[in-house]
Amino acid sequence: MDVLLAGLISGSTYALIALGVSLIYGVSNIVNFAHGATFAVGAMLGWFFASSLGLPLWLVVILVIISTGLLGLVIHFVALRPLGNAPPIAALLATFAVGIILDNGSLRIFGAETRRFPTLLERSNFELFGFRFGTLGLVIIGVAVVCVVALALFVGRTRYGRAIRATSQDRDAAKQMGIPVERVQALSFVIASALGGVAGVLVGMYYSNVSPSIGFMAGVQGFAAATLGGLGSLVGAVVGGVLLGVAEAFGVAYFGDSARQLITFGVLLLVLWIRPGGLLGRVPAVTAEPLTGTFFGSGKPLRISPWMTAVLAVAGVGLAFVTTDYVLRVAALVCIYATFALSMTVIGGFAGQIVLGQAGALAIGAYTSALLMTKADWPFWPSFLAAGFVAAVISTILVAPTWRLRGHYVSMATLATGAFIAALALNLPWLTNGARGVFGIPRPDLFGFEISSAPHMYLLTFVVFVLAALLVARLGGSRLGRIWAAVREDEVAAASSGIQATAYKSLAFGIGSAIAGFAGALYASQLTYIEPAQFGISLSVLAVTIVVLGGMRAPIGAFIGAAVLVAIPEVFRQFADWRLLFYGVLLLLLILFRPQGLWSRFAVVDRIIPKLRRKERSAS
């Protein structure tokens, strides 16, 4: 009974988070990946108001509602409004970037340590019908219920509520009828973010401690709950939140606290596999527009001639003989990350699937190779091959059921898969040593020679990158590249031309994951130790940022992106804490101003030419 009550309490906070996710999805048709971060900001602000300023609970809640509501408005105006009619994938990545910025901004402001959330209530317990109630639990459930009822009344009874419902049913029709759709969308962001902030305060009170890093998990819990109930359905969000809360409470009661993450990710994945529309929703039968389309399209990657490739390769090899060990160690990391990012080139750039959990594949590769070498005494190269193979197989199986779906669902499923794999690495200590990690991973060898010096390691990673890049370039230019392009740009048209889209998406993902697995093996051998914390969401963020920066459609883009994003932070070592914040800001700026990345023709030319042609045509 106590377990059920605990489940209801956390479930009611999940419901609040999920409501925000669903509300925004309904009105704007995007999954707000910054929602978890908004929640965390709410929690930190709540802590600040309550403990530093010593304000009473009711004032704390009101202030948090106001400030997170404003934050929602800012997110809408900074990240979404400018993207206007850009494909939803741009908005998805923009909210993702905002989430990173918020998480790490609040980390810099409030510090990384966990703060004690002050007791704002007299805690007393009483019994009723065999339940033991605490005032705290009652207040949390009470506040959640009040919020849900208020939202229900607002959406159901007011003029603006009607506008919200109309917009979520059919945006274009709503616009035609004179509904200020953009204002409705802004409003939905304000409401959703305020709900997220309130949830942050409630969770802070419940667990009596908060830290800026709680946002990611809360965000995934929100997605899981919203998807379970049916994305876009407000009733579904409440049902999903409560169900997820209860399921987690029972899971934690039976298997311990570490099961919590596995349950959340597991629920999200299972729903996406079995019933992606959720309990009360449905995946729309006809999707009007393909998700990526012209977003990355406006930039054609520049072509590199074979002899340019040769010159670059020779220059890359030559670097090993002219510079210091320190530079070469950084350069080796650049090559490893570039190889890792090549997986995004295949999956995102070619096949158009925006995956947000590639750190998972890298982790599987790193662990496979590290464990085979340290525990089974395999030599490097067989372990290296096994790393790519195992990474591809496990990732492909985990994500396979998702390929029937498109866009956000793929992004959410891969986000969950990546986090799921990191959670597994932590929760399978007999295999992975758990949080302690794997130490003393041997260096590679080649024909009996150990490769351990900095120049040698650099050369090895460089050669692996070049081979992988050539493979990727070859794939992109082949028949498969054409098939992927068709799937990327218009899945329906591709299918009607006889292309089995799911299979080719899965193939791209498998190939990409194998490449990430190879990169993982190199990563393990370069660092000589690995632990689960290295493979968190920030590594997946890095992969996305690298290819968005460098250009998604050409392998060289991965290298350019990696060089900028890995080498520059090395130069500014003393600002290491700011690195993720920098990535987030960079990602957001790129999406807003140069989505096609550095390595592509300037978009201006591409935009002007068709316009001129059109003018010519209309003039004639």
**Site residues, another protein (CB under 8 A):** 285-286, 293-294, 297, 300, 471, 474-475, 478-480, 482-483, 485-486, 488-490, 492-501, 503-504, 506-507, 510-511, 609-610, 613-614, 617
483: exposed, middle or buried (Cβ count in 10 Å: 0-12, 13-18, 19+): buried
Q: How many residues does the chain have?
A: 620
Residues 544 and 99 sit within 8 Å (Cβ to Cβ): no
| Identity of the residue, 118 or 349, whose beta carbon is nearer to another protein in the bound complex | 349
| Identity of the residue, 154 or 389, whose beta carbon is nearer to another protein in the bound complex | 389
Distance between CA atoms of residues 415 and 224, nearest Å: 11
Smallest gap from residue 222 Cβ to another protein (A): 27
Residues 36 and 220 sit within 8 Å (Cβ to Cβ): yes
Residues 195 and 32 sit within 8 Å (Cβ to Cβ): no
Smallest gap from residue 502 Cβ to another protein (A): 9
Where is 572: in which H helix or E strand?
none
Smallest gap from residue 610 Cβ to another protein (A): 5
Cα 173 to Cα 179, 262, 286, 503, distances in angstroms: 9, 41, 17, 35
Cα 348 to Cα 107, 342, 468, 595, distances in angstroms: 30, 10, 16, 13
Smallest gap from residue 212 Cβ to another protein (A): 40
Smallest gap from residue 501 Cβ to another protein (A): 7
Distance between CA atoms of residues 49 and 56, nearest Å: 9
| Identity of the residue, 144 or 469, whose beta carbon is nearer to another protein in the bound complex | 469
Residues 76 and 186 sit within 8 Å (Cβ to Cβ): yes
Smallest gap from residue 389 Cβ to another protein (A): 11
Residue 209 three-state SS: strand
Distance between CA atoms of residues 366 and 522, nearest Å: 7
| Identity of the residue, 135 or 294, whose beta carbon is nearer to another protein in the bound complex | 294
Smallest gap from residue 215 Cβ to another protein (A): 36
| Identity of the residue, 485 or 580, whose beta carbon is nearer to another protein in the bound complex | 485
Partners of 613 in beta bridges: none
User: φ, ψ for residue 171 (rounded to 5)?
Assistant: -60, -45
- Tokens 């977003």 correspond to what residue? 295
| Identity of the residue, 85 or 124, whose beta carbon is nearer to another protein in the bound complex | 85
Distance between CA atoms of residues 518 and 467, nearest Å: 12
* Number of other CB atoms surrounding residue 533 within 10 Å: 12
| Identity of the residue, 273 or 578, whose beta carbon is nearer to another protein in the bound complex | 273
* Number of other CB atoms surrounding residue 84 within 10 Å: 9
| Identity of the residue, 440 or 498, whose beta carbon is nearer to another protein in the bound complex | 498
Smallest gap from residue 611 Cβ to another protein (A): 10
Distance between CA atoms of residues 7 and 9, nearest Å: 5
Cα 282 to Cα 232, 300, 489, distances in angstroms: 9, 36, 23
| Identity of the residue, 429 or 610, whose beta carbon is nearer to another protein in the bound complex | 610
Smallest gap from residue 605 Cβ to another protein (A): 11
Smallest gap from residue 617 Cβ to another protein (A): 6
| Identity of the residue, 149 or 608, whose beta carbon is nearer to another protein in the bound complex | 608
